[in-house]
Amino acid sequence: MEEINYFISESLEKRKLNHSLRSLKSENSKIDFCSNDYLGFARSEELRQLFLSELGKYPDFRLGSSGSRLLAGNDSFTERLEEEIADFHQSEAALMYNSGYDANIGLFSCLPQRGDTIISDEYIHASIIDGIRLSHAQRYVFRHNDIENLEQKLRIARGRIFIAVESLYSMDGDEAPLQQIADLAQKYKAALIVDEAHATGVFGENGRGLIEESGLSDKIFARVITFGKALGTHGAVVLGSRQLRSYLINFSRAFIYTTAAPFLSHLAVKAAYTYLKSRDHQSGIHQRIHYFRQLIKPGIRLLPGRSAIQIIIIPGNSRATEKAETIQLAGFDVRAILSPSVAQGSERLRICLHNHNSMEEIKSLCELLNRIL
């Protein structure tokens, strides 16, 4: 016990020393430039009313799902919702997971086998890395968005080959060159798997995502769509063929060995999709992104990108933290992303824009950034 406690306190001490100790913060009254609620759905009164009026139709709903989907936890409502989501994203089938983290773990841990190869972008999300670690496949990492480097890895890959990318990277706010990656996947007969967590809702017709926007729906083996970001709710689906869905139901441990999400959660997802389809939610967010980028003065290290995630590089954990604190004191909820979450020297402010940010708020934030950076 003593040794374990010593290890714990030493690990925390190290984090404190390099200014990277994480701690939980409760809600605050600052202006939101931090959440993933890009379209404002999580706080939308209209969506809440839509959800409540739908809920009124199900007076006998069960609070909990009471089991795994394979046992008592399945119902026709969830299956219809999966079909509806698959249709919306122009996919043959969809399978629900309790979170995006679970979806990636569940997909990557069971699909590639010993002797197979998974090639992933170096900036891929932790949930994909963890899923790959659970598989027995060989893993190669290619330099971020570097097509030549990806091809080098493809040349040496053995067995069935999988490529894992995000359509929009959450720590840099930049996009994968999807068309080129899809071409390479075709050339090397690799299965391309794309995580659309941060593109869903923001890009494509009615927020169908970057794959739809690029016209590549037919070229992708599987997609992960999460509901906890622009859709303002919680959970995720893996999109792919009916056969893939059936394979996951049989072999994906993160799907099989867990209690299914409750009806309330699925109803919220259904309401969010209804709301997403009901009108154009995308123009507003893109106007704000454009406005923000116009106002930031030259000289500030603003990374390129047309997404709701805007990145300003401020090297050094202590400097990035200090700037974030100054911005927070002025009433804006902007967070610093520190190493080891990002590479040393590329510490940053991560500014998320939303439909609920007024133009005035964006202007005030930019004026402050221009003054202090």
Ligand X SMILES: Cc1ncc(COP(=O)(O)O)c(C=O)c1O
Count, residues near ligand X per rule CB under 6 A: 14
Q: Which two tokens stand for residue 146?
A: 């570097």
> Residue from 93, 95, 197, 342 that binds ligand X (CB under 6 A)?
197
Query: CA of 369: how far to CAs of 76, 114, 203, 314, 337, in Å?
Result: 51, 50, 27, 12, 16
In the bound state with ligand X, the residue whose beta carbon lies nearer, of 221 and 291, is 221
Q: Does residue 307 interact with ligand X by CB under 6 A?
A: no
> Could you give the 3-state DSSP secondary structure of residue 105?
helix
| Residues in contact with ligand X, shown as a per-residue x/- string from 234 to 273 under the rule CB under 6 A | --x-------------------------------------
Q: Does residue 166 interact with ligand X by CB under 6 A?
A: yes
Q: Does residue 177 interact with ligand X by CB under 6 A?
A: no
Q: Which two tokens stand for residue 256?
A: 């099989």
In the bound state with ligand X, the residue whose beta carbon lies nearer, of 198 and 361, is 198
Task: Name residue, tokens 């902007």.
Answer: 334
What whole-number distance in Å separates Cα of residue 262 and Cα of residue 174? 34
Chain position whose Cβ is nearest to ligand X: 100
Q: In what order do the strands lie in the sheet with 309-313?
A: 309-313, 348-352, 335-337
* The one segment of 19-27, 64-72, 190-198, 270-278 that binds ligand X by CB under 6 A: 190-198
Please report, as residue ranges, which positions from 312 to 331 form the binding site for ligand X (by CB under 6 A).
none
CB of 102 to ligand X, least distance (A): 7
In the bound state with ligand X, the residue whose beta carbon lies nearer, of 334 and 366, is 334
Query: CA of 72: how far to CAs of 16, 100, 260, 261, 305, in Å?
Result: 46, 23, 9, 12, 45
In the bound state with ligand X, the residue whose beta carbon lies nearer, of 177 and 228, is 228
Region of 241 (left: φ > 0; alpha: ψ -120 to 50; beta: rest) is beta
Residue spans of beta strands (DSSP E) within the chain? 31-32, 93-97, 117-121, 138-142, 161-166, 191-195, 222-226, 236-240, 309-313, 332-333, 335-337, 348-352
Q: Give how far the C-alpha of residue 90 lies from the chain's centroid of Cα atoms, to the nearest Å.
A: 19
Q: How many residues can be counted in the chain?
A: 373
Stretch (H or E) spanning 83: helix 76-88
CB of 317 to ligand X, least distance (A): 21
> Residue from 91, 117, 167, 170 that binds ligand X (CB under 6 A)?
170
Q: Does residue 127 interact with ligand X by CB under 6 A?
A: yes
Instruction: Enumerate residues 6+ apart whose C-beta is below 8 A from 272.
Output: 41, 47, 227, 231, 232, 233
CB of 196 to ligand X, least distance (A): 8
* The one segment of 26-34, 157-165, 192-200, 330-338 that binds ligand X by CB under 6 A: 192-200
Provide the 8-state DSSP code for 64. S
Identity of the amino acid at 283: S
284 close to 230: Cβ distance less than 8 angstroms: no
* The one segment of 155-163, 191-199, 266-274, 328-336 that binds ligand X by CB under 6 A: 191-199
In the bound state with ligand X, the residue whose beta carbon lies nearer, of 170 and 357, is 170
In the bound state with ligand X, the residue whose beta carbon lies nearer, of 100 and 106, is 100
Q: Give how far the C-alpha of residue 311 lies from the chain's centroid of Cα atoms, to the nearest Å.
A: 16
In the bound state with ligand X, the residue whose beta carbon lies nearer, of 157 and 234, is 234
CB of 34 to ligand X, least distance (A): 13
CB of 100 to ligand X, least distance (A): 2
> Residue from 19, 43, 54, 228 that binds ligand X (CB under 6 A)?
228
In the bound state with ligand X, the residue whose beta carbon lies nearer, of 138 and 226, is 226
In the bound state with ligand X, the residue whose beta carbon lies nearer, of 228 and 284, is 228
Please report, as residue ranges, which positions from 87 to 126 form the binding site for ligand X (by CB under 6 A).
99-101, 104, 125
In the bound state with ligand X, the residue whose beta carbon lies nearer, of 78 and 226, is 226
Residues that bind ligand X in the complex, under the rule CB under 6 A: 99-101, 104, 125, 127, 166, 170, 195, 197-198, 226, 228, 236
